[in-house]
Structure 1
Amino acid sequence: MHHNSFLAGSSNAITQYFNKANLPTQQETLGQVVVEILSDGKSLNRKSLCTKLLGRLGKATSQEEEHHYHTLIGLLFDR
């Protein structure tokens, strides 16, 4: 019985690890956002970056994703 609970715990830990790995890195996300802005023919500036990130934040499907976007938005205003 103890062995099964260990396997269940290990399985859960591995699942959580891979779920976290599904989020892109900050650099990848910012790169995607920059490409979207430039492809739309808009100027690349702090306001356009923030607007795009806020739009993505509004569509986030997990707490990890929300945290990811909050962190990126925070970087725009960190001096």
Structure 2
Amino acid sequence: MATQTITTDQYKLYPSPRNQYREIFEHQVFVPYPYAIIDLEVMELAGKTTLYAACRLSDMKMGQVVTFELAADQAKFERLFTPD
């Protein structure tokens, strides 16, 4: 089954099959580690989140984009995330 891509002004996104939601939320973080394991469940975030493999269009850098419904969750993610 082919993966559907989503192109925004900043990214070409490849949705994770583990996403519970099919939305790109307002608060976003680009993680420049395409192979890092990002386990959002263990961070116990309060709102909805989505995870995408991503290509940043400005420089064609590969990585991942995490989107958050809540700004507080974005701040918590940025504080807790460390690449493996």
For the criterion TM > 0.5, the same-fold answer is: no
Which TM-score tier does this pair reach, normalised by the shorter chain? under 0.3
Calculate the TM-score normalised by the size of structure 2. 0.26
Calculate the TM-score normalised by the size of structure 1. 0.27
Structure of greater relative contact order (alpha carbons < 8 Å, 6+ residues apart): 2
Q: Select the structure that is richer in strand.
A: 2
